[in-house]
Amino acid sequence: MAETHYAPLSASFPFVTSYQTGCNSLPEISRSTERALREGKLLELVYGIKETVATLSQTAVSIFVTGDSGNGMSSFINALRIIGHEEDASAPTGVVRTTQTRAEYSSSHFPNVVLWDLPGLGATAQTIEDYMEEMNFSTCDLFIIIVSEQFSSNHVKLAKVIQSMGKRFYIVWTKLDRDLSTSVLSEVRLLQNIRENIHENLQKERVKDPPIFLVSNLDPLLHDFPKLRDTLYKDLFNIRCCGPLKTLYGIYEKIIGDKVAVWKQRIGSECLKNSLGVRDDDDMEECLKMYRLIFGIHDESLQQVAQSMGTVVMEYKANMKSQNFSTLRKEDWRLWIMTCSIMNAFFRLFKFLPCICSCFRRLRHKLMLLLVSQDTKNILKKILSDSANPSANLV
Protein backbone atom coordinates (compact mmCIF):
# COMPACT_ATOMS: atom_id res chain seq x y z
CA MET A 1 0.00 0.00 0.00
CA ALA A 2 1.37 3.43 -0.94
CA GLU A 3 2.77 5.58 1.84
CA THR A 4 0.82 8.72 0.94
CA HIS A 5 -0.70 11.46 3.01
CA TYR A 6 -2.36 14.77 2.31
CA ALA A 7 -1.08 18.23 2.98
CA PRO A 8 -2.88 21.36 1.87
CA LEU A 9 -0.79 23.37 -0.55
CA SER A 10 -0.71 27.14 -0.89
CA ALA A 11 -2.69 28.38 -3.85
CA SER A 12 -0.37 29.44 -6.65
CA PHE A 13 -2.87 31.98 -7.95
CA PRO A 14 -6.19 33.39 -6.66
CA PHE A 15 -9.28 31.20 -6.35
CA VAL A 16 -7.54 27.94 -7.28
CA THR A 17 -6.48 25.40 -4.71
CA SER A 18 -5.08 21.90 -4.93
CA TYR A 19 -4.38 19.19 -2.37
CA GLN A 20 -1.89 16.36 -2.29
CA THR A 21 -4.59 13.73 -2.10
CA GLY A 22 -4.01 11.63 -5.16
CA CYS A 23 -7.33 12.81 -6.61
CA ASN A 24 -7.02 14.97 -9.72
CA SER A 25 -10.69 16.01 -9.62
CA LEU A 26 -10.43 17.87 -6.31
CA PRO A 27 -9.13 21.19 -7.71
CA GLU A 28 -11.95 21.18 -10.27
CA ILE A 29 -14.51 20.50 -7.51
CA SER A 30 -13.05 23.44 -5.58
CA ARG A 31 -13.27 25.72 -8.62
CA SER A 32 -16.92 24.77 -9.13
CA THR A 33 -17.78 25.87 -5.57
CA GLU A 34 -15.92 29.14 -6.09
CA ARG A 35 -17.85 29.78 -9.30
CA ALA A 36 -21.14 29.04 -7.52
CA LEU A 37 -20.26 31.51 -4.75
CA ARG A 38 -19.43 34.26 -7.22
CA GLU A 39 -22.80 33.71 -8.89
CA GLY A 40 -24.68 33.61 -5.58
CA LYS A 41 -25.76 29.99 -6.05
CA LEU A 42 -25.42 28.62 -2.53
CA LEU A 43 -27.15 25.30 -3.23
CA GLU A 44 -24.62 24.48 -5.97
CA LEU A 45 -21.86 25.44 -3.54
CA VAL A 46 -23.26 23.02 -0.93
CA TYR A 47 -23.27 20.19 -3.47
CA GLY A 48 -19.66 21.03 -4.36
CA ILE A 49 -18.58 21.06 -0.70
CA LYS A 50 -20.24 17.68 -0.13
CA GLU A 51 -18.46 16.27 -3.14
CA THR A 52 -15.20 17.74 -1.86
CA VAL A 53 -15.69 16.14 1.56
CA ALA A 54 -16.59 12.78 -0.01
CA THR A 55 -13.40 12.91 -2.09
CA LEU A 56 -11.20 13.97 0.81
CA SER A 57 -12.69 11.20 2.97
CA GLN A 58 -10.97 8.65 0.72
CA THR A 59 -7.51 10.11 1.34
CA ALA A 60 -4.95 7.59 2.62
CA VAL A 61 -3.82 8.21 6.21
CA SER A 62 -0.70 6.78 7.86
CA ILE A 63 -0.76 5.85 11.55
CA PHE A 64 2.49 4.89 13.30
CA VAL A 65 2.22 2.53 16.27
CA THR A 66 5.37 2.90 18.37
CA GLY A 67 6.75 2.52 21.89
CA ASP A 68 9.30 0.53 23.85
CA SER A 69 10.08 -3.01 22.71
CA GLY A 70 7.83 -5.56 24.39
CA ASN A 71 4.98 -3.13 25.09
CA GLY A 72 2.61 -5.03 22.79
CA MET A 73 2.50 -2.87 19.66
CA SER A 74 1.75 -5.79 17.32
CA SER A 75 -0.88 -7.20 19.67
CA PHE A 76 -2.52 -3.78 19.85
CA ILE A 77 -2.69 -3.53 16.06
CA ASN A 78 -4.43 -6.92 15.90
CA ALA A 79 -6.86 -5.87 18.66
CA LEU A 80 -7.60 -2.56 16.94
CA ARG A 81 -8.34 -4.44 13.73
CA ILE A 82 -10.42 -6.96 15.77
CA ILE A 83 -8.61 -10.01 14.40
CA GLY A 84 -7.04 -12.95 16.20
CA HIS A 85 -3.29 -13.46 16.49
CA GLU A 86 -3.62 -16.77 14.66
CA GLU A 87 -5.15 -15.25 11.50
CA ASP A 88 -3.01 -14.99 8.37
CA ALA A 89 -3.30 -11.20 8.13
CA SER A 90 -2.40 -10.61 11.77
CA ALA A 91 0.75 -8.88 12.99
CA PRO A 92 3.20 -11.42 14.47
CA THR A 93 3.35 -11.35 18.27
CA GLY A 94 5.36 -13.03 20.97
CA VAL A 95 7.11 -12.67 24.29
CA VAL A 96 10.38 -11.82 22.50
CA ARG A 97 10.92 -8.98 20.05
CA THR A 98 9.07 -9.91 16.84
CA THR A 99 9.08 -6.68 14.78
CA GLN A 100 12.57 -5.93 13.40
CA THR A 101 11.52 -3.65 10.53
CA ARG A 102 8.39 -1.58 10.18
CA ALA A 103 5.42 -3.41 8.68
CA GLU A 104 2.12 -2.10 7.30
CA TYR A 105 -1.40 -3.38 7.93
CA SER A 106 -4.87 -2.40 6.82
CA SER A 107 -8.33 -2.94 8.28
CA SER A 108 -11.85 -2.98 6.93
CA HIS A 109 -12.84 -1.03 10.06
CA PHE A 110 -10.64 1.87 8.94
CA PRO A 111 -10.70 2.12 5.12
CA ASN A 112 -7.75 3.84 3.43
CA VAL A 113 -5.73 3.78 6.65
CA VAL A 114 -2.25 2.26 6.85
CA LEU A 115 -1.32 1.03 10.33
CA TRP A 116 2.46 0.93 10.60
CA ASP A 117 3.85 -1.48 13.19
CA LEU A 118 7.25 0.00 14.07
CA PRO A 119 10.15 -1.78 15.75
CA GLY A 120 10.29 -0.85 19.41
CA LEU A 121 12.65 1.86 20.58
CA GLY A 122 16.12 0.39 20.94
CA ALA A 123 15.49 -2.32 18.35
CA THR A 124 17.14 -0.44 15.47
CA ALA A 125 18.53 2.88 16.68
CA GLN A 126 20.11 4.22 19.84
CA THR A 127 18.59 7.71 19.96
CA ILE A 128 15.12 9.17 19.43
CA GLU A 129 16.51 11.34 16.63
CA ASP A 130 17.98 8.33 14.79
CA TYR A 131 14.76 6.39 15.34
CA MET A 132 12.67 9.26 13.93
CA GLU A 133 14.83 9.45 10.81
CA GLU A 134 14.98 5.69 10.29
CA MET A 135 11.20 5.28 10.73
CA ASN A 136 10.49 8.34 8.56
CA PHE A 137 8.30 10.14 11.12
CA SER A 138 7.63 13.04 8.75
CA THR A 139 5.35 10.82 6.62
CA CYS A 140 3.03 10.01 9.54
CA ASP A 141 -0.34 11.66 10.08
CA LEU A 142 -1.10 10.32 13.58
CA PHE A 143 0.95 8.46 16.19
CA ILE A 144 -0.13 5.90 18.78
CA ILE A 145 2.40 5.47 21.61
CA ILE A 146 1.98 2.05 23.21
CA VAL A 147 2.74 1.70 26.93
CA SER A 148 2.63 -1.14 29.47
CA GLU A 149 4.02 -1.69 32.97
CA GLN A 150 5.50 1.82 33.20
CA PHE A 151 5.49 5.13 31.40
CA SER A 152 9.21 5.37 30.64
CA SER A 153 11.52 8.24 29.67
CA ASN A 154 11.44 6.91 26.09
CA HIS A 155 7.68 7.40 25.99
CA VAL A 156 8.05 10.97 27.26
CA LYS A 157 10.75 11.70 24.65
CA LEU A 158 8.53 10.30 21.90
CA ALA A 159 5.59 12.42 23.04
CA LYS A 160 7.75 15.54 23.22
CA VAL A 161 9.19 15.01 19.73
CA ILE A 162 5.78 14.29 18.19
CA GLN A 163 4.31 17.39 19.84
CA SER A 164 7.16 19.50 18.45
CA MET A 165 6.23 18.20 14.97
CA GLY A 166 2.69 19.47 15.47
CA LYS A 167 1.27 15.96 15.01
CA ARG A 168 -1.67 14.36 16.79
CA PHE A 169 -0.88 11.40 19.07
CA TYR A 170 -2.48 9.06 21.62
CA ILE A 171 -1.09 7.25 24.65
CA VAL A 172 -2.46 3.68 24.86
CA TRP A 173 -1.83 1.52 27.93
CA THR A 174 -2.25 -2.01 26.56
CA LYS A 175 -2.03 -4.68 29.27
CA LEU A 176 -4.80 -3.60 31.60
CA ASP A 177 -6.01 -7.19 32.10
CA ARG A 178 -2.71 -8.15 33.71
CA ASP A 179 -2.64 -5.00 35.85
CA LEU A 180 -6.18 -5.62 37.12
CA SER A 181 -5.39 -9.24 37.99
CA THR A 182 -2.21 -8.46 39.96
CA SER A 183 -2.98 -5.13 41.64
CA VAL A 184 -4.19 -4.89 45.23
CA LEU A 185 -5.89 -1.59 44.38
CA SER A 186 -9.50 -1.27 43.32
CA GLU A 187 -10.12 -0.96 39.59
CA VAL A 188 -11.13 2.70 39.90
CA ARG A 189 -8.03 3.58 41.93
CA LEU A 190 -5.72 1.62 39.63
CA LEU A 191 -7.00 3.36 36.50
CA GLN A 192 -6.69 6.73 38.22
CA ASN A 193 -3.08 5.97 39.26
CA ILE A 194 -2.09 5.00 35.72
CA ARG A 195 -3.57 8.17 34.24
CA GLU A 196 -2.05 10.40 36.93
CA ASN A 197 1.40 8.86 36.39
CA ILE A 198 1.25 9.48 32.64
CA HIS A 199 -0.01 13.02 33.19
CA GLU A 200 2.71 13.89 35.71
CA ASN A 201 5.52 12.59 33.51
CA LEU A 202 4.26 14.52 30.49
CA GLN A 203 3.71 17.68 32.54
CA LYS A 204 7.33 17.66 33.70
CA GLU A 205 8.41 18.00 30.06
CA ARG A 206 5.62 20.48 29.26
CA VAL A 207 3.86 18.08 26.93
CA LYS A 208 0.15 18.83 26.56
CA ASP A 209 -2.09 15.97 27.64
CA PRO A 210 -3.00 13.80 24.64
CA PRO A 211 -5.96 11.38 24.63
CA ILE A 212 -5.11 8.51 26.99
CA PHE A 213 -6.74 5.10 26.57
CA LEU A 214 -6.44 2.17 28.96
CA VAL A 215 -7.12 -1.11 27.16
CA SER A 216 -6.49 -4.82 27.16
CA ASN A 217 -5.21 -6.29 23.91
CA LEU A 218 -7.08 -9.47 24.91
CA ASP A 219 -10.45 -7.66 24.98
CA PRO A 220 -10.71 -5.45 21.85
CA LEU A 221 -14.33 -4.53 22.64
CA LEU A 222 -13.90 -3.65 26.34
CA HIS A 223 -12.43 -0.89 28.52
CA ASP A 224 -11.39 2.19 26.47
CA PHE A 225 -11.30 0.42 23.09
CA PRO A 226 -14.73 1.67 21.93
CA LYS A 227 -13.81 5.22 22.99
CA LEU A 228 -10.47 4.91 21.20
CA ARG A 229 -12.15 3.83 17.96
CA ASP A 230 -14.70 6.66 18.15
CA THR A 231 -11.92 9.20 18.71
CA LEU A 232 -9.90 7.73 15.87
CA TYR A 233 -12.82 7.92 13.42
CA LYS A 234 -13.26 11.63 14.24
CA ASP A 235 -9.55 12.38 14.01
CA LEU A 236 -9.22 10.59 10.68
CA PHE A 237 -11.98 12.82 9.32
CA ASN A 238 -10.27 15.93 10.73
CA ILE A 239 -6.89 14.94 9.28
CA ARG A 240 -8.41 14.42 5.86
CA CYS A 241 -10.90 17.26 5.68
CA CYS A 242 -10.44 20.12 8.13
CA GLY A 243 -7.27 21.56 6.60
CA PRO A 244 -8.65 21.71 3.04
CA LEU A 245 -12.03 23.04 4.24
CA LYS A 246 -10.26 25.77 6.20
CA THR A 247 -8.34 26.63 3.04
CA LEU A 248 -11.61 26.75 1.11
CA TYR A 249 -13.11 29.16 3.64
CA GLY A 250 -10.14 31.49 3.17
CA ILE A 251 -10.76 31.42 -0.58
CA TYR A 252 -14.48 32.05 -0.06
CA GLU A 253 -13.69 35.07 2.13
CA LYS A 254 -11.53 36.44 -0.67
CA ILE A 255 -14.32 35.97 -3.22
CA ILE A 256 -16.81 37.76 -0.97
CA GLY A 257 -14.32 40.57 -0.37
CA ASP A 258 -13.84 41.00 -4.12
CA LYS A 259 -17.60 40.99 -4.63
CA VAL A 260 -18.01 43.70 -1.99
CA ALA A 261 -15.30 45.79 -3.67
CA VAL A 262 -17.05 45.54 -7.04
CA TRP A 263 -20.40 46.58 -5.57
CA LYS A 264 -18.85 49.45 -3.62
CA GLN A 265 -17.57 50.78 -6.95
CA ARG A 266 -21.03 50.44 -8.45
CA ILE A 267 -22.61 52.18 -5.49
CA GLY A 268 -20.09 55.00 -5.86
CA SER A 269 -20.29 55.48 -9.60
CA GLU A 270 -23.52 54.06 -11.06
CA CYS A 271 -27.23 54.60 -10.77
CA LEU A 272 -28.29 52.38 -7.87
CA LYS A 273 -31.75 51.82 -9.30
CA ASN A 274 -30.28 50.30 -12.44
CA SER A 275 -27.54 48.35 -10.65
CA LEU A 276 -29.87 46.77 -8.11
CA GLY A 277 -32.92 46.56 -10.33
CA VAL A 278 -35.16 48.37 -7.80
CA ARG A 279 -37.79 51.05 -8.28
CA ASP A 280 -36.63 53.20 -5.36
CA ASP A 281 -33.05 53.15 -4.09
CA ASP A 282 -34.22 54.84 -0.87
CA ASP A 283 -36.46 51.86 -0.10
CA MET A 284 -34.05 50.08 2.22
CA GLU A 285 -36.22 46.97 2.61
CA GLU A 286 -36.38 46.43 -1.14
CA CYS A 287 -32.66 47.12 -1.56
CA LEU A 288 -31.80 44.69 1.26
CA LYS A 289 -33.69 41.92 -0.54
CA MET A 290 -31.61 42.57 -3.66
CA TYR A 291 -28.31 42.49 -1.75
CA ARG A 292 -29.31 39.18 -0.18
CA LEU A 293 -30.20 37.89 -3.65
CA ILE A 294 -26.81 38.99 -5.02
CA PHE A 295 -24.95 37.04 -2.31
CA GLY A 296 -27.32 34.06 -2.50
CA ILE A 297 -28.63 34.27 1.07
CA HIS A 298 -32.27 35.05 0.27
CA ASP A 299 -35.05 33.01 1.91
CA GLU A 300 -35.54 30.51 -0.92
CA SER A 301 -31.81 29.80 -1.16
CA LEU A 302 -31.42 29.30 2.60
CA GLN A 303 -34.42 26.96 2.64
CA GLN A 304 -32.81 24.84 -0.08
CA VAL A 305 -29.46 24.82 1.73
CA ALA A 306 -31.09 23.75 5.00
CA GLN A 307 -32.95 20.88 3.29
CA SER A 308 -29.76 19.74 1.58
CA MET A 309 -27.88 19.79 4.90
CA GLY A 310 -30.70 17.91 6.64
CA THR A 311 -31.63 20.68 9.05
CA VAL A 312 -34.14 23.53 9.46
CA VAL A 313 -33.71 26.95 7.90
CA MET A 314 -33.61 28.68 11.30
CA GLU A 315 -30.26 27.00 11.89
CA TYR A 316 -28.90 29.37 9.26
CA LYS A 317 -31.05 32.36 10.14
CA ALA A 318 -30.53 32.27 13.90
CA ASN A 319 -27.50 34.61 13.92
CA MET A 320 -28.34 36.40 10.69
CA LYS A 321 -28.66 40.19 11.03
CA SER A 322 -30.09 40.81 7.56
CA GLN A 323 -33.26 38.72 7.81
CA ASN A 324 -35.18 41.97 7.21
CA PHE A 325 -34.44 45.66 7.42
CA SER A 326 -36.04 46.07 10.84
CA THR A 327 -33.79 43.34 12.28
CA LEU A 328 -30.74 44.82 10.56
CA ARG A 329 -31.37 48.27 12.05
CA LYS A 330 -31.69 46.81 15.55
CA GLU A 331 -28.49 44.78 15.17
CA ASP A 332 -26.27 47.60 13.87
CA TRP A 333 -26.21 50.99 15.58
CA ARG A 334 -24.62 52.71 12.59
CA LEU A 335 -27.48 51.76 10.30
CA TRP A 336 -29.99 52.66 13.02
CA ILE A 337 -28.54 56.18 13.23
CA MET A 338 -28.44 56.54 9.44
CA THR A 339 -32.12 55.58 9.11
CA CYS A 340 -33.65 57.06 12.25
CA SER A 341 -36.42 59.67 11.98
CA ILE A 342 -34.04 62.57 12.68
CA MET A 343 -31.67 61.55 9.89
CA ASN A 344 -34.57 60.93 7.52
CA ALA A 345 -35.87 64.41 8.26
CA PHE A 346 -32.39 65.82 7.67
CA PHE A 347 -32.23 63.85 4.42
CA ARG A 348 -35.56 65.33 3.25
CA LEU A 349 -34.48 68.82 4.31
CA PHE A 350 -31.41 68.70 2.10
CA LYS A 351 -33.08 66.94 -0.78
CA PHE A 352 -32.53 70.06 -2.87
CA LEU A 353 -28.75 69.44 -2.52
CA PRO A 354 -28.18 66.37 -4.71
CA CYS A 355 -24.53 65.89 -3.72
CA ILE A 356 -25.28 65.62 0.01
CA CYS A 357 -28.25 63.31 -0.59
CA SER A 358 -26.26 61.10 -2.95
CA CYS A 359 -23.34 60.83 -0.53
CA PHE A 360 -25.62 59.94 2.37
CA ARG A 361 -27.50 57.37 0.29
CA ARG A 362 -24.24 55.69 -0.77
CA LEU A 363 -23.02 55.48 2.82
CA ARG A 364 -26.21 53.65 3.82
CA HIS A 365 -25.93 51.24 0.91
CA LYS A 366 -22.25 50.49 1.51
CA LEU A 367 -22.96 49.72 5.16
CA MET A 368 -25.87 47.47 4.25
CA LEU A 369 -23.66 45.74 1.67
CA LEU A 370 -21.00 45.03 4.32
CA LEU A 371 -23.58 43.66 6.78
CA VAL A 372 -25.03 41.29 4.17
CA SER A 373 -21.53 40.13 3.19
CA GLN A 374 -20.74 39.36 6.85
CA ASP A 375 -23.93 37.30 7.12
CA THR A 376 -22.83 35.44 4.00
CA LYS A 377 -19.46 34.60 5.59
CA ASN A 378 -21.15 33.35 8.75
CA ILE A 379 -23.51 31.15 6.75
CA LEU A 380 -20.60 29.74 4.72
CA LYS A 381 -18.70 29.04 7.94
CA LYS A 382 -21.70 27.09 9.26
CA ILE A 383 -22.07 25.13 6.01
CA LEU A 384 -18.39 24.14 6.15
CA SER A 385 -18.60 23.38 9.87
CA ASP A 386 -21.64 21.16 9.35
CA SER A 387 -19.92 19.47 6.41
CA ALA A 388 -16.83 18.86 8.57
CA ASN A 389 -18.95 16.95 11.09
CA PRO A 390 -18.27 13.23 10.50
CA SER A 391 -21.90 12.47 11.38
CA ALA A 392 -23.24 15.02 8.91
CA ASN A 393 -25.40 13.85 6.05
CA LEU A 394 -23.03 13.89 3.08
CA VAL A 395 -25.24 12.29 0.43
Contact between 116 and 62 under an 8 Å Cβ cutoff? The reply is: yes
CATH architecture, domain 61-223:
3-Layer(aba) Sandwich (3.40)
- pLDDT bin (cut points 50, 70, 90) of residue 16 is very low
What pLDDT band is residue 231 in, cutting at 50, 70 and 90?
Answer: very high
User: Is residue 64 pLDDT above 90, yes or no?
Assistant: yes
Residue bearing the bigger pLDDT, 394 or 360: 360
Beta bridge partners of 110: 107
CA atoms within 13 A on the CB side of 350: 14
Cα separations in angstroms, 380 against 25, 95, 165, 370? 22, 54, 31, 15
pTM as predicted: 0.73
Q: Shortest CA distance to 383 belongs to which of 58, 26, 45, 57?
A: 45
Q: In this predicted structure, which of 88-97, 269-278, 329-338 has the lowest mean pLDDT?
A: 88-97
Tens digits of residue pLDDT in 122-180? 655 568 888 888 889 999 999 999 998 889 888 999 999 999 999 999 999 998 999 99
Question: Is the pLDDT reported for residue 45 higher than 90?
Answer: yes
Mean pLDDT of the chain: 81
**pLDDT per residue over 287-330, tens digit each?**
889 999 999 999 999 999 999 998 899 999 888 888 877 777 77
Mean pLDDT to the nearest integer, 52-81? 88
- What pLDDT sits at residue 7? 33
Classify strands 103-107 and 110-117 as parallel, antiparallel or unpaired: antiparallel
Average pLDDT over residues 326-340: 71
DSSP secondary structure letter of residue 139:
G
Q: Residues 226-241: what's their mean pLDDT?
A: 91
pLDDT above 60 (res 19): no
Q: Place 14 in a pLDDT band, splitting at 50, 70 and 90.
A: very low
Could you give the angle at the alpha carbon of 70 between the alpha carbons of 66 and 72, nearest 5°? 65
Residue limits of CATH 3.40.50.300 in the chain: 61-223
Task: Identify the DSSP state of 120.
Answer: P
pLDDT band at 100 (very low <50, low <70, confident <90, very high): low
Identify whether the C-beta of residue 272 lies closer than 8 Å to the C-beta of residue 280. no
State what percent of residues in the chain have pLDDT above 70.
77
d(CA 166, CA 294): 41
Tell me: pLDDT of 354 over 70.
Answer: no
* E strand segments, 2-158: 61-67, 103-107, 110-117, 142-147
Q: Identify residue 206 by its one-letter amino acid code.
A: R
- The per-residue pLDDT for 13 is 23
Which is more confident, 335 or 224? Answer: 224
In angstroms, rounded to a whole number, what is the distance separating the alpha carbons of residues 265 and 260? Answer: 9
Among 46, 53, 51, CA closest to 303: 46
- In this model, does residue 339 exceed pLDDT 90? no
Q: List the end-to-end C-alpha distance of the chain, in Å, as a whole number.
A: 28
